[in-house]
Amino acid sequence: MKVAVIGASGLLGKYLVREWKGDDVAGFSSKDVDIRDAGQVNKLIERVRPDWILLAAAYTDVDGCESHQELAFQTNCTGAVNLAQAARDHGSRLLFVSTDYVFDGANSTPYETDAPRNPRSIYGKSKAEAEVHIAEILLTSCIARTSWLFGVGGKCFPDTILRLADARPELQVVNDQRGSPTYARDLALALVQLCRKNAQGIVHVTNSGDCTWFEFAFEIIRQAGLKTVVQPTTTDKIPRLAPRPKYSVLSAKSLARYEILMPAWQQALTNYLSERRQT
């Protein structure tokens, strides 16, 4: 199988290229193709002719998207549309990595794949619009929603907490937003399986279990063996430019249909910390 990973220099893209074994995998970064340019995208896919395209490239700075709305939509939506059209025209399958931010966070039980989209942030809106267009252009596409991504080699929550813990005796972390932390390596391995199983439609892909950001931070400090005190606080006391979903846990039912199981987020964190120490 021939695979093209778009966004290969990003956090998830690096894991996809590194962990994908047994197939012909090529990674492409923004230096190779500007996904906002339909001509560049078409030329690349026409040349490579992949069986699967994995679109992991995105503008993921949630607050930055609020300040740069045009860039957010050009990258996250127009870019995705360009890849979907190129995939359709050249006979490739497409897997688009999406987000829990397509939901408003009003739920109190895990979101199923058919739950109504109602994003509150520009980032979420750009991804939700991309989902709609991709499904219209390419019926065989796979949309893999994930959440709270972390890993080695990129900006992520555990890395931030560990750096702050080195400098401060006490941290305050919000305790009223709940989701599922997802280790980029586990996500990458699950996406490989989805492609090999010819998945299509929407699939939710996260590590199992859920927590608040405070609970996540507390576990990071505990597993790292640090003495930094973590105190719970509320979202309104730490204002951010973009609104965050209060609850964005994604149901695992769609992933289970493909007989793919994800480790618990606590075990994923253990593996991340081990990898981090080795780099």
Residues forming the active site? 123
Tokens linked to 24:
């012909």
Local structure of 157: helix, strand or coil: helix
Residue indicated by tokens 């003495």: 227
Tokens linked to 5:
């990973």
Strands 93-99 and 52-55: parallel
Instruction: Print burial letters for 82-115: b (CB count within 10 Å at least 16), e (below 16).
Output: bbbbbbbebebbbbbbbbbbbbbbebeebbebeb
Ramachandran bin of 158, using left for φ above 0, alpha for ψ from -120 to 50, beta for the remaining angles: alpha
- Residue 246 one-letter amino acid: K
- Cβ atoms of 56 and 12 within 8 Å: the answer is yes
Partnered with residue 3 across adjacent β-strands are 25, 52
In the chain, % helix, strand, coil (3-state, to 5) comes to 45, 20, 35
Nearest to 19 by CA among 188, 272, 191: 188
Nearest to 273 by CA among 209, 229, 224, 201: 224
